[in-house]
Amino acid sequence: MPDPSVSGAPGATAVSPEARTPPERAELERVRTRDSEALAAFFERYVDRVYGFVYRLLGDRAQAEDMTQEVFLKVHRAAHQLDTTRDPGPWLMTIAHNACRDLWRSSAWKLSRRAASLDGDSPLAATLSRGTNDPERDALASERERLVQHALTRLPEPLRVAIVLHDYEGLGHEEIAAITGIRHAAARKRYSRALSALARLLEDSLA
């Protein structure tokens, strides 16, 4: 496996390889024409990925649901612009990232953050881990989920985007640069800073 810091390609990530396999071109053509079956298949293929991405960025289930709906609304509106020669994954991530960025810039978000900071730590969702037959393992996974998500939400937003796209979504620096609208080198540097910051935040809890 190539070193991700050099090649930009991450190793194994939370998003499964099946979710990253792009659909057939013919299927994407049908999505462009808003064919019902194709739209349903497209939705099933990407909804978990979009939801997971925005959840990691926002750290709140209700907001992640609203954002997922927003993303699919935009996808439906822009379906005719879909480039069938390319993997629609980065296109979706770009839409999701832009929608989250718009939310972060909104006064409503800033107000809610201010209220959350007055209340103490922002409330994290209940455990999201899939249940197993091993309660101890479930409890550990749940605790780790809570710690990592909490650390993510404490990162500055651009750093959060960089590390989630790279290590959670499994995108390379070049794709991240295209999604976030910055240069390749800047994307790498941002990821580097994000990883350092996350490591510092998790230093004690993961030791």
Partner 1 sequence: MNERGFEPPTPEEARAREALRTLEPPRVDPAFRERLRRDFVAGRMGEPRTLRLPVAWYRQPLWRLAPVAAALLVVVVAVTNRGPAWMVLASAGEGVAVVDQVPVPMGHVEELQRRLRPGVRLQVPVGSEIELASPGGLVVQVTSGTEFRLPAIPGRWVGRWVVGEVRHGEIRVTTGPAFHGARLHVQTPEATVVVTGTTLAVICEPIGTCVCVYDGEVGVGAKGDRMEPVVTGRRRFVFNDGRSPESAEIRPIENERLAAFRQSRGAWLEGREE
Where on the chain is the footprint of partner 1 (CB under 8 A)?
Answer: 3, 5-6, 10-16, 34, 36, 39-40, 43-44, 47-48, 51-52, 55-56, 61, 64-65, 68-69, 72-73, 75-77, 125, 128-130, 141, 144-145, 147-149, 151-152, 163-164, 167-168, 188-189, 191-193, 195-196, 198-203, 206
Give the residue with the Cβ less far from partner 1, 85 or 140. 140
Give the residue with the Cβ less far from partner 1, 65 or 87. 65
Query: What token pair was written down for 128?
Result: 């999201």
Give the residue with the Cβ less far from partner 1, 117 or 140. 140
CB of 90 to partner 1, least distance (A): 18
CB of 78 to partner 1, least distance (A): 11
CB of 154 to partner 1, least distance (A): 13
By C-alpha distance, which of 54, 87, 69, 6 is closest to 161?
Answer: 54
For residue 95, give every residue at least 6 positions away whose Cβ sits within 8 Å of its Cβ, in sequence order, or none.
71, 74, 75, 78
Query: What token pair was written down for 139?
Result: 């409890």
By C-alpha distance, which of 89, 68, 72, 78 is closest to 23?
Answer: 89
Give the residue with the Cβ less far from partner 1, 64 or 161. 64
CB of 48 to partner 1, least distance (A): 6
Residues 185, 176 contacting (CB under 8 angstroms): no
Give the residue with the Cβ less far from partner 1, 101 or 146. 146
What is the number of alpha carbons within 13 Å of residue 88 lying toward its C-beta? 28
CB of 116 to partner 1, least distance (A): 19
For the chain, the distance separating the N- and C-terminal CA atoms, rounded to the nearest angstrom, is: 26
Q: Report the Cα 3 to chain-centroid distance in Å.
A: 22
Residues 170, 15 contacting (CB under 8 angstroms): yes
Give the residue with the Cβ less far from partner 1, 117 or 196. 196
CB of 109 to partner 1, least distance (A): 18
For residue 119, give every residue at least 6 positions away whose Cβ sits within 8 Å of its Cβ, in sequence order, or none.
none
